[in-house]
Chain A
Amino acid sequence: MSSIGTAARTGFARGGIELRQTFSNVTDLWTYLFPAVLLVGTVFFMRNATVPGTDISLGARTLPSTFGMGIAFAGLMTVATLLVTDREDGTLLRAKATPNGMSGYLVGKIVLVGGMTACSFLLQLVPGLFLVDGLSVDAGGWLTLLWLVPLGFVATMPLGAVIGSVIDSARNLGLIMLPLIGLVAISGIFYPISAMPGWLQGVAQGFPVYWLGLGMRSVFLPDASTAAELGHSWRQLETAGVLGLWAVAGLILAPAVLRRMARRESGSAVAARREKAMQRPVG
């Protein structure tokens, strides 16, 4: 139906406008720059270190891993945060009051989060290339990017939406931030996973963060670098498999949870949240 086409087009327009808005205020610019500065700094100090037992540069290994982490963070944390704040301030209720507004809203968020991730990615990649040697992308790498990035988003965004639907206040977002940071710590992003105890390696391999990091390393590092990986392989089949399972789980869960959340949105629900937020102590 044409109205669905309209919703998709409006959603893209919406995402584009909101993406442009992120370049025109200090807070948003800071959320682009801060991680980039932090990361490039980290990579800078790592530039002479190598992965123990190999001659692979630790910096060259870390940079692509963090791109994987970036996708996981954007898909889970950014999506959840946007959903919670948009619910709190009534953006979502407006979408609900508009024909096809919810579809437009969701398409818009996907475009926004995808665009924001791409910008952060460039901000980290470009300075990073000057600092570390040994990063290159061959034809196979480009091909991997083509399926890995979309799959990474599909594996994380629906889950982020589920989290954002379940959490009812911006204050409680910290509840998921901590476990996510813990997950990053054990997922071999900043240090090879082989340094972890076996059971932690097992836990990490159940979640998308490890696989996104691994997938990104497979794109940017030469095949010889698999020496520092589990099984001495990029394990692309397993990467696609685990991410695919998360994607299926998210896509099964998200529509029902989102629908339930949207059904409960009403003027009085927003008013109640506003009341609660107003009483929240400042700072």
Chain B
Amino acid sequence: MTTSTGALREATGTPLGEPVLEVRGLRMRYGSTDVLRGLDFSARRGEVVAVLGPNGAGKTTTIEILEGFRMRSAGDVRVLGVDPAVGGERWRARLGVVLQSWRDHSKWRVRELLHHLGTYYAGYSTPERRRPWPVDDLIEVVGLAGQAQQRVGRLSGGQRRRLDVAIGIVGRPELLFLDEPTVGFDPSARRDFHDLVHRLTDVDETTVVLTTHDLDEAEKLADRIVILAGGRIIADGSADELSRRIARESEIRWTRDGNRYVHSAADATRFVRDLFRQYGDGIGDLEVRRAGLEETYMTLVRDFEAGRSASAVSAFEEAL
């Protein structure tokens, strides 16, 4: 027994330091309501983790606990090796938080505000991470060069969100939290934002934890997706792993003799093989689509909710 564990440890190699984020048995209870019922997950350096889930699933509560803005009821949480409940200013300087803004700092000019907020980080600069981000570079990176001297209150919704992102990363964080980052973005601003996140993770090895309702965005950005429902994690893995696990039927489209055909099959490969065996060169315009993250997500949440009502029914029957 001991030898096999030893061999396993040797095979996986020595761990590369602590994970950036580690959550064990996280619980949150408001009064008599359990909002989080024992979450376990972690994130490695440079990883992008998307937290998905229906409204009221506990996404925001989870993020706020990790940010140190909310006290948890139970469980072990380590963010950059520190318990966020007691994280000091030095810890705070290593984090970035992109907040949903409203109308704060409306009298400030964009460059003035970013420069000012950057000065708080100057004392926490390290040789590996020069803090803060030079303000003009930062403005360029988030695409606000044309608005540098504009008042914050006069920015459009999308520009304002880009400023929020700039404020979140001005201290060159090791870990960045994004709560619904692209709400109100047009498609091109969204694409720019995705490029920016990739740049952060590639160049700076920033770990990113984001919540979103946009499944397409999660699929594009995230290395790992954590799906929360009813205060529990019901799935954790890459978009690909999740859709494989659900093993939904794929959709197959083709044409033959000028007619269009559509068919759903659990084993698409086998179906296509049979199709060609039968008709050979008569098949044209072949398309096979595996269920995307959206279908996977819907199935997972639906199954979870069905399961929950089923367990409620059984509990009810037991009570009788």
Contacts and interface: CB of A to CB of B under 8 A. Distances in A.
Interface of A: 2-3, 6-7, 9-10, 13-14, 17-18, 21, 24-25, 86, 89-91, 93-94, 96-101, 104, 263, 265-268, 270-271, 274
B93 A94 contact: no
Nearest to B103: A89
B276 interface: no
A90 B120 contact: no
A43 to B, nearest CB: 32
B117 A98 contact: yes
Contacts of A98: 92, 117, 120-121, 171
30 contacts: A3-B90, A3-B123, A6-B119, A10-B119, A13-B116, A13-B119, A14-B116, A17-B112, A17-B116, A18-B107, A25-B107, A89-B104, A93-B69, A94-B99, A94-B105, A97-B67, A97-B95, A97-B97, A98-B117, A98-B120, A99-B93, A99-B121, A99-B124, A265-B69, A266-B67, A266-B69, A266-B70, A267-B64, A271-B100, A274-B102
B69 A96 contact: yes
A14 B113 CA distance: 9
A25 B153 CA distance: 12
Contacts of B41: none
A196 to B, nearest CB: 42
Contact of B104 (A2, A25, A90, A266): A90
Instruction: Please provide the 9 A-B residue pairs with the shortest distance between their CB atoms, ordered closest to farther.
Output: A99-B93, A266-B69, A91-B104, A3-B123, A97-B97, A99-B89, A21-B107, A99-B92, A89-B104
**Main SS of the interface on chain A?**
helix
Given A97-B67, A99-B92, A265-B69, 10 more contacts: A3-B89, A3-B123, A17-B116, A94-B99, A99-B121, A99-B124, A104-B120, A267-B69, A267-B99, A268-B61
B112, B119, B179, most chain A CB atoms within 10 A: B119
Contacts of B120: 6-7, 10, 98-101, 104
Contact of A268 (B64, B90, B124): B64
Which residue, B67, B69, B116, has most C-beta atoms of chain A within 10 A? Answer: B69
A263 B121 CA distance: 21
B271 interface: no
B116 A270 contact: no
Contacts of A89: 102-104, 106
A9 B120 CA distance: 9
Contacts of B63: 267
A86 B104 CA distance: 7
B311 interface: no
A164 to B, nearest CB: 16
Q: Which of B90, B122, B123, B179 gathers the greatest number of chain A CB atoms within 10 Å?
A: B123
B176 to A, nearest CB: 11
A41 to B, nearest CB: 29
Contacts of A13: 116, 119
B299 interface: no
Given A99-B90, A99-B92, A270 B105 contact: no
Contacts of B95: 97
B167 interface: yes
Contact of A270 (B61, B102, B107): B102
Given A91-B104, A268-B64, A270-B100, A10 B116 contact: yes
Nearest to A97: B97
Contact of B60 (A9, A91, A104, A267): A267
Contacts of B71: 263
A271 B180 CA distance: 13
B153 to A, nearest CB: 10
Pick the most buried of B106, B112, B117: most chain A CB atoms within 10 A of its CB.
Answer: B117
Contacts of B106: 89
A21 B108 CA distance: 8
B210 to A, nearest CB: 13
Contacts of B122: 6
A90 B105 CA distance: 9
Contact of B99 (A6, A21, A97, A99): A97
Contacts of B55: none
B101 interface: yes
A132 B266 CA distance: 94
Contact of A2 (B64, B101, B123): B123
A9 B61 CA distance: 34
Contacts of A91: 104-105
Nearest to B180: A267
Contacts of A21: 107-108
A20 to B, nearest CB: 10
Contacts of B167: 94
B57 to A, nearest CB: 13
A19 to B, nearest CB: 11
A269 B70 CA distance: 11
Most A-side CB within 10 Å, residue of B60, B90, B95, B104: B104
Contacts of B101: 90
Interface in B12-53: none
A109 to B, nearest CB: 14
A267 B179 contact: yes
A7 B99 CA distance: 21
Contacts of B121: 98-99
A104 B171 CA distance: 16
Contacts of B104: 86, 89-91, 94
